[in-house]
Amino acid sequence: MKKLYKTKLTLAILTSILSAEAAFAGAFGVPTAGTAGWGRAFAGGSIYDNDPSSAFNNPAAMAFVDGPVSQMNVQFARVNMRFKGDATTASGMSTQDIAINDTLPFKKANNGGQGGFSEVFPTYFLVLPINEQWAVGFSQVVPMGMRSTWDRYGVGRDFAVDTRVETIALNGSVSYKFNDSLALGGGVTVQRTRGTVTQNVDIYHAAYERLKDILPVPIMPSTGDALIRVKVNNTAPSWFAGIVWKPTERDTIGFNYHATVKNKLEGKYNFHFGEGDESITAIEIADQLFPGLKLYPGGAKIKSRLNTPATASIDWVHQWNERLTTGTSVLWTQWSEFKSLPLIDKASGSMIVEIPYKYRDTLMFSVGADYKLTDEWIVRGGLAYDQTPTRSTTRDLRIPDNDRTFVSLGAGYAPKSLPNFTFDVAYSRQFVKRARLKSTNVELLGGAKMDGKVKASGDVFSLAATYRF
């Protein structure tokens, strides 16, 4: 029985690590296009003429870059998320009606506030042709990243409070041009990932579950203030490759593949108690009340394994005339490999539990165009539809993801007074389908139930400066 309680409680708390990693690796993945790509909703990928973002997205296209080129991009992302609904205790009482034992006067739960975030993330690309056949590239991208921050006293505090994931990738690539219509390329990437996850733990109800046979009266659930904070990090290598074919003078077709990144996550967790609640750690039977958990500030070490999914994209760019060029892309993500994830005790190396996820593969479809107004100005636009990998059984307040549509606009300016420079700007709006959340916490964490919806949207503003040597 003690082993069963340990497994259930550890599963419920450490699932937060799993949710955060899944989110940033797919549902909240960050497109690695340059500003021009954002302006056309990623249509055509990086196979447009002289696109330096090919250094990462399709290295084969570097073979057709006219000369050395360097590009700095800065994106500002703003994501809005609002929850509407309620959470109830195991006995059916709304958590909005329960006072939270933190400081006097007692607080009551709210609806969670605005759970989104704002973030600035840079990307950099460099392409250096060596001769008629060979070219090399270097890049820095942010392929994944997200944050959701809900009010600590929101109705969903026992499901999610704060989630933050940051990934930075450094990449090197090389391409070879066989002739004027065919090229191959490949590269390696090293990604550094950091994640932080926080949620409330209903410690009083967990204790009551262990003592309910001897206590004269029940303990009110969802009144404790005990935050568990989980931090993990990892550095992992992987590879990518691409091919570009020009069947006609006006058509370019590209295919690229980015392999799975095998993450071996390591980190620790610890508790942060509200005023008065830390006293529960001093009682003699604390280890029996919370088997497997370390309530003292030092916490405990954990590890997990996470293979982020492979992706593949096929792109087509067609030049209709000297002014109009259009692009089309289909991006596939192998989310079906996310069947389950293990959680492992680092000290003993023993398997605590293996958590099922059952994600599904996704597709993103995009169409876009460039229109050359003058020798100095280009305008862009595009649409994209991106599927979510989540299922109704895995969607929660921490990662309230659903299908989304991108609507993008952009412009490029090549001033005659600065012949080596080009400047680009783009704006992209994300319309996210409302996400239904209907989940239940395990009994040892209070058995709370959540039923509601999250309305989400996003805006990305992008700026770039390109210098041609």
Domain regions of the chain by residue span:
2-468
- The alpha carbon torsion through 383, 57, 28, 362 (nearest 10 deg) reads 70
CB 243 within 8 A of CB 285: no
Rounded-to-integer distance, Cα 421 and Cα 73, Å: 14
Rounded-to-integer distance, Cα 157 and Cα 110, Å: 10
Rounded-to-integer distance, Cα 467 and Cα 430, Å: 30
Given this model, what pLDDT does residue 23 score?
Answer: 33
Burial (CB count within 10 angstroms: exposed 0-12, middle 13-18, buried 19+), residue 1: exposed
Write the pLDDT tens digit of every residue in 84-113.
888 876 667 676 665 555 443 445 566 667
Tokens standing for 344?
């492992």
Rounded-to-integer distance, Cα 435 and Cα 452, Å: 9
5 — phi, psi (to 5°)? Answer: -65, -40
Measuring CA to CA, which residue among 377, 385, 434 is closest to residue 407? 385
Give yes or no for residue 162 having a pLDDT over 60: yes
> Where residue 7 falls among pLDDT bands split at 50, 70, 90?
very low
Tokens standing for 387?
């599927």
Rounded-to-integer distance, Cα 315 and Cα 273, Å: 52
> Where residue 16 falls among pLDDT bands split at 50, 70, 90?
very low
DSSP state of 94: B
Whether the link from the prior residue into 105 is cis, omega within 30° of 0, is yes
Interacting residues of 451 by C-beta distance below 8 A, sequence separation 6+: 85, 86, 87, 88, 437, 438
> pTM here?
0.85
CB 80 within 8 A of CB 458: yes
Given this model, what pLDDT does residue 355 score?
Answer: 62
Residue 462 backbone class (left: φ over 0; alpha: ψ -120 to 50; beta: rest): beta
Rounded-to-integer distance, Cα 87 and Cα 110, Å: 11
DSSP state of 448: -
Level-2 CATH architecture, domain 2-468: Beta Barrel (2.40)
Given this model, what pLDDT does residue 100 score?
Answer: 55
Write the pLDDT tens digit of every residue in 235-275.
999 999 999 999 999 999 999 999 998 888 888 877 777 66
Tokens standing for 252?
């370019």
Tokens standing for 295?
């309530």
DSSP state of 335: G
% residues pLDDT > 90 (the chain): 44
Give yes or no for residue 60 having a pLDDT over 90: yes
